[in-house]
Amino acid sequence: MKPSIYITRKLPESVINPLQSEFEVDMWEHGDVPVPRDILLHKAESATALLTMLSDRIDKELLQKSPSLKVVANLAVGYDNIDLEAAKELGVTICNTPDVLTETTADLTFALLMATARRIVEADRYIKEGKWKSWSPLLLSGMDIHHKTIGIVGMGSIGEAVARRAKGFNMNVLYHNRSRKHEAERALGVQYSTFEDLLIQSDFVAVLAPLNAGTKGMFQEEQFTMMKKTGIFINAARGAIVNEEALEKALKRGDIAGAGLDVFEAEPIDADHPLLALDQVVAIPHIGSSSKETRYEMMALCVENIQAVIKGDQPKTEVQ
């Protein structure tokens, strides 16, 4: 009997075809609707491998009910949806998709920064709603990006890629990380800063840290009040790093000037969420790595990891 693989979103045939000859492949029929929990639990019970999304909760309950499960390949660099301790205890290999999405996510992060600073979304809406009647000296005037200071919270590979882009805009780059990155400092000309000093000095604060016990709820009212009133906050990491109510208050009070958000505490965010009513907020639906090229690379890497584990080989990107 062939090993079985369950895929929790509908993926292109070209991605799953390499699996069909060696494995029994079952796949949720929707690409934009999460698989219901009861169906996921049922499918996992007999699966040898799961190809999952961040929205799929791979917890101890699921892992304990899946005696044949050998590997979970998460279609993301993050894995905060997975109980790593339970997986290790039960001998299930966990894989993610780092590196292949670094440059694409950095592109999106910087695009979000630019769109927020230069009010691109507001300007697009302004012209499409027929409001443009005449030229005005300060019409939709935003703020410059060049020669400003950006503070990067989380100097992993994506943080370094954003720093390279910032240097192209002649920006001064500060960073805060749980450990100093001396090589990045030498190669990129970036400067390590305490978290508090970074908030005080930066014109742009870009969050690119992983979600863990140390970063969850990292941004509260206190942190936003430390930022410049002209400051812009960018989150392309994880929504739970930020207290959204505190961010909303900071924006409404004028503690900061704007926010660009790719991630939210609850996803998908409700259309009537108060943050979305603010013109100075640019919100996009967690698309940091969403270029066609990169998403296909991520899918292919998941497939390779699954094949490797089932065959008894070492996967390319196992989460340690």
pLDDT digits (tens, 9 = 90+) for 23-66: 999 999 999 999 999 999 999 999 999 999 999 999 999 999 99
Active site residue 238: yes
Q: What is the pLDDT of residue 74?
A: 99
Known active-site residue 265: no
How does residue 270 score in pLDDT terms, banded at 50, 70 and 90? very high
Give Cα 110 distance to the centre of its chain: 13
pLDDT band with cut points at 50, 70 and 90 for residue 196: very high
For the segment 167-183, the average pLDDT, to the nearest whole number, is 98
**Which strand (E) or helix (H) includes residue 6?**
strand 4-7
Fold matches, 4-98+292-310 and 102-283: yes
Mean of the per-residue pLDDT values for the chain?
Answer: 98
pLDDT score, position 18: 86
Best CATH choice for the domain 4-98+292-310 from the list 3.30.530.20, 3.40.50.720, 3.30.1050.10, 3.55.50.30:
3.40.50.720
286 catalytic per annotation: yes
Q: Domain limits of the chain? A: 4-98+292-310, 102-283
- pLDDT for 1 equals 83
The CATH class given to the 102-283 domain equals: alpha beta
Q: Which of 119, 238, 244, 248 is catalytic?
A: 238
How much of the chain exceeds pLDDT 90, in percent?
Answer: 98
Phi, psi of 158 (to 5 degrees): -70, -40
Of 9, 119, 165, 286, which residue is the catalytic one? 286
pLDDT at 164 over 90: yes
Please say if the pLDDT value at position 259 is more than 90. yes
What is the Cα–Cα distance from 181 to 196, expressed in whole angstroms?
A: 18
Is the model more confident about 182 or about 16?
Answer: 182
Can you tell me whether residue 157 is helix, strand or coil? helix
pLDDT band at 163 (very low <50, low <70, confident <90, very high): very high
Tokens of 237: 């990491």
What is d(CA 103, CA 290) in angstroms, rounded to the nearest whole number? Answer: 11
pLDDT in tens, 228-251: 999 999 999 999 999 999 999 999
Segment 136-165 mean pLDDT: 98
Is a pLDDT exceeding 90 seen at residue 122?
yes
